[in-house]
Amino acid sequence: MKREEQISRNLDWVTVLIYILCVVAGWLNIYAAIYNPEHPIWIFDDGFFDTNSGKQLIWIGTTVLLIIAILVIDHRFYDTFAFPIYGFFLFMLLAVLVVGTEVKGSHSWFRIGSFQLQPAEFSKMATCLALAKYLSTPLTNLSRFKDQLNVAIIIAIPPILILASNETGVALVFASFLILLYREGLPGMYPAIFLAVVTLFILSLIFEEWQIYIGLAVVSALVVWAMPRYERKTKNILAILGVAFCMGLFVTGVDWAINNVLKEHQRNRIRVLVDPDFDRKKTGYNVRQAKIAIGSGGLLGKGYLQGTQTKFDFVPEQSTDFIFCTVGEEFGFAGSLTVVGLFIGLMLRLIYLADRQKSRFARVYGYGVVSIIFFHFLVNIGMTIGLMPVIGIPLPFFSYGGSSLWSFSILLFIFLKLDAHRSQMLSRW
């Protein structure tokens, strides 16, 4: 009884409230996405639990049981068994390649009756725990190459296995851990390289290769010209030219990779990002209809269950990857801004909680939670409004799917459990 009272008293109820609001709003939008005004199915009707909204309600109920289990388990369990948990989900990623079920071209699902589980979703939580465990060990320093390499291995193994199951979207989420690592002391050179690579990739899609080469030459010349005279040494100039040359090689490699490595549907998704009018009846259809749905909502929306784009299935995958379209159409700009505000409030609250931790393990894990949620939030809403390529990742707590809801809830409440016992955790900085 004393333990339950302690958890209830120390649990961060602000975060819990935001979580509940997100889950409830998500379920309401899932119901709206599958609602048929001609044949409405209500919660007590036969067949309700065969619909997406009915199944999601079951997932929500089981999530409550998971949360209770997480809060009851001793907080030291997550630190002690971080690596075994990581190893277990690596095994699951291997097992799904052998005995998993293929869904929409991705061989990454376990089927249990009419329900499906995707271990790739849970591997993000496991990797977050493993990183927190490794970075909290004594003498670990991200300024040393050895520790950088070990961290890179921990992060790289899950997405490699996920890519083997043809699940590109989830694999890309692991790039979000760069935010966590930078916060924990990774040299700024690595985020700078990452941003440079992303920028060059985008420029390679917009401009011709020769135009980028000229741009690199001009920028290199300006950098040399802006250098103080005492710094214009041969080795410095050669270093700048070497960087420009490597960038040029990367640009050439991007064009080759797009045409020879990526599959046709992946190439088309990238082309749609650059040219919204490309293939409007096939690859560009989703994004185009998503923009129409959101734009048609206006300031206050058409009203709950009144969205025409939603009702007539103009937007594919509207209860999963494109759930934000339902928010935009039925609740308008005001509703969309409210949802964005919920996520920003959640992430700011988690940053506050992470900063007040007394153990490095809890702090690192907390920043990992923020990084993962931020990546999903940014990419999912970005692809819905045409600012990001369509890579098929869910909006946390909103998109339909048991694996998504379970994994994000577990991810979040492990951190809330650690935070509730922060005064009992050893300080290891």
Give this prediction's pTM. Answer: 0.89
Using alpha carbons, select from 389, 230, 305 the residue that is nearest to residue 53: 305
Say what the pLDDT of residue 151 is.
95
Run of H or E including 109: strand 106-112
User: What does residue 116 show for φ and ψ, rounded to 5 degrees?
Assistant: -135, 145
pLDDT value of residue 281: 62
Residue 383 counted as domain residue = yes
What are the beta bridge partners of residue 115?
112
The residue ranges of DSSP E strands in 226-316, in sequence order, are none
Residue 309: its pLDDT value, please?
A: 76
Burial annotation 221-242 (CB, 10 A radius, 16+ → b, else e): eeeeeeeeeeeeeeeeeeeeee
Specify whether 117 is located in the same domain as 18: yes
78 and 165 inside one domain: yes
Q: Is residue 316 one of the residues assigned to a domain? A: yes
Rg (Cα) of the chain, in Å, rounded? 23
Task: Please check whether residues 228 and 366 belong to one and the same domain.
Answer: no
Same domain, 207 and 341: no
Looking at the structure, do residues 152 and 200 belong to the same domain, yes or no? no
Does the residue 277 lie in any domain?
A: no
Q: Is residue 365 part of a domain?
A: yes
Assess contact for 152 and 175: CB atoms under 8 A: no
Considering the domain boundaries, does residue 278 fall inside one?
no
| Domain residue limits at 176 | 2-186+284-424
Question: Do both 214 and 291 map to the same domain?
Answer: no
Distance CA 234, CA 75 (A): 57
Quick check: 251 and 200 in contact, CB under 8 A?
A: yes
The pLDDT value given to residue 414:
96
Residue 269 lies in a domain: no
Which among 228, 261, 294 is the end of a domain? Answer: 261
Decide if 268 is inside a domain.
no
**271 part of a folded domain:** no
Domain identity same for 239 and 159: no
Clarify whether residues 160 and 305 are in a common domain: yes
Are 333 and 220 within one domain? no
Beta-bridged to residue 109, according to DSSP, are 101
> Are both 368 and 247 inside the same structural domain?
no
Structurally, the chain folds into a number of domains equal to 2
Structure tokens at 379: 């990419």
- So what's the pLDDT on residue 429? 47
* Residue 426 confidence (pLDDT): 58
Q: d(Cα 424, Cα 348) in Å, to the nearest integer?
A: 24
Q: How far is CA 298 from CA 228, 315, 327, 383, in A?
A: 54, 18, 11, 19
* Shared-domain flag, residues 118 and 257: no
**φ, ψ (nearest 5 deg) of residue 322:** -110, 35
Q: Are residues 58 and 196 in the same domain?
A: no
Tens-of-pLDDT digits for all 429 residues of the chain?
Answer: 455 556 677 899 999 999 999 999 999 999 988 887 777 777 777 778 888 888 999 999 999 999 999 999 999 999 999 999 999 999 999 999 888 887 776 778 888 776 788 899 999 999 999 999 999 998 889 989 999 999 999 999 999 999 888 888 888 899 999 999 999 988 888 888 888 888 888 787 777 888 888 988 888 888 888 877 777 788 888 888 888 888 888 888 877 777 776 677 666 677 766 666 666 665 667 777 888 888 888 898 888 888 877 666 677 777 888 899 999 999 999 999 999 999 999 999 999 999 999 899 999 999 999 999 999 999 999 888 878 877 878 999 999 988 899 999 999 999 999 999 887 765 554
